[in-house]
Structure 1
Amino acid sequence: MRHLSLTLLASALLCTASASWAQARKPSAPAASAAPASASQAESRSELEIDPNEPHIQAAMKKGRATASEVLKVGATGDEKRYENVAVRVLVKEGKLQEFIWLQPFEKTDKGYVGYVATVPVTLQRMQVRMSYTFQPEDIVDWMYTDKLKKTMHGQFITCAQVKKHAPQDAPVLKRRYGLDCSR
């Protein structure tokens, strides 16, 4: 059970670990190799542990969809002095395969939004880190951002659902270290 707890923590903070390259508004092309570049990227494999058919995950995705306008507004401000780790999570399907993918950074376009893959795709062969992906607001199943002034992390509904169900002992750690409050 402790391994699962550590995996959940790593998943919760995946976007934080990728913030160094996400600062650029136009990321460079992905490397030819799809191998994880760091331990934090290897931890993104925990994305596969999310079963979108489980009731607690479905409830989390419903909450993420219903509140997605919040992260889109924060992203539109471009206020890097106040907000960081602004990201959205989408469920991408490739035939019968599917995977949860974090997109960071993202921006509004005339066709919706475009974001850049921030997690190492494991199941989907056509996706690569830093590859652009076009999405619509209704495609968002989860989101996150950190308010640097208030030292709080917002969103992360799927991670909170996982923690509540599988590792409730880690909720205080998430709140203390990252300001993520899973009580809402």
Structure 2
Amino acid sequence: MTIAIRIALCLLLALAPLDAWAQSDDKAMMIVSDDAEMAAAIEKARSGLDEFLALSDAPLPGTDKFKLKVMIVDGNATEHFWVIPFKRTDTGLVGILANEPEIVRNVVLGQNIEFTRDDISDWGYTKNGHQVGSFTVCVMLKKMSKEEADNLRSAYGFDC
């Protein structure tokens, strides 16, 4: 993320409640907490969660790298992290935090965390080298410079 974008995002932090959205390359992007596009992406992810979990339980040929994005709250701060790998438990889900926290301080990279379906804000997996899901990432790509977005698309197989 460019310095100008970081400065602008820091200024926004003082003006509106923000959530930090962890990206695939372990950087965070600040998004206003009432961003309509992000809310729609979360809703889309949650509406397909049952199908995603069923597929992650019995992956089809050519599918791998299943991941969940989970919301972590620490006081008034909220940050979203990829959890890779994850598994279901009797009471919810458990997995390993795959991003370095930038806002919250109650978790650390590599920590094993327990969470519920209500904490899930996105999901994704790779099918034949292309990302499926990752709806929140597609929103973030629109808010990045063309160069940064193109680099992430190329490196991780995003089609959005």
Give the structure-1-normalised TM-score: 0.65
Does 1:99 find its partner at 2:79? yes
Q: Helix, strand or coil for the counterpart of 2:88?
A: strand
In structure 2, the CA distance between the partners of 1:169 and 1:131, relative to structure 1 (3 Å rule), is closer
- Please give the alpha-carbon distance, in whole angstroms, between the structure 1 residues aligned to 2:131 and 2:80: 20
Give the structure-2-normalised TM-score: 0.73
State the identity %. 27
**What's the offset of the Cα at 1:168?**
5.8
**What's the offset of the Cα at 1:114?**
0.6
Does 1:140 find its partner at 2:120? yes
- 1:158 aligned partner: 136
More helix by share: 1
- Please give the alpha-carbon distance, in whole angstroms, between the structure 2 residues aligned to 1:174 and 1:65: 24
- Please give the alpha-carbon distance, in whole angstroms, between the structure 2 residues aligned to 1:170 and 1:96: 29
Task: Tell me if the contact between 1:120 and 1:128 (Cα under 8 Å) persists in the aligned partners.
Answer: yes
Residues 107-140 of structure 1, C-alpha deviations (whole Å, 9 max, x = no match): 0111111111111112221201121211222321
Does 1:13 find its partner at 2:24? yes
In structure 2, the CA distance between the partners of 1:121 and 1:173, relative to structure 1 (3 Å rule), is closer
Task: Tell me if the contact between 1:90 and 1:140 (Cα under 8 Å) persists in the aligned partners.
Answer: yes
Superposed CA RMSD: 2.7
More strand by share: 2
Q: Helix, strand or coil for the counterpart of 1:50?
A: strand
Structure with more contact order per residue of length (Cα contacts < 8 Å, sep ≥ 6)? 1
**What's the offset of the Cα at 1:106?**
0.4
**In the comparison of the two structures, how many residue pairs are matched?**
143
Instruction: Write out aligned runs for 1:106-125 (5 A).
Output: 106-125=86-105
Deviates more, 1:117-126 or 1:158-167: 158-167
**What's the offset of the Cα at 1:69?**
2.1
Structure 1 runs not aligned, ≥5 long: 15-43
Deviates more, 1:100-109 or 1:129-138: 129-138
Task: Tell me if the contact between 1:99 and 1:123 (Cα under 8 Å) persists in the aligned partners.
Answer: yes
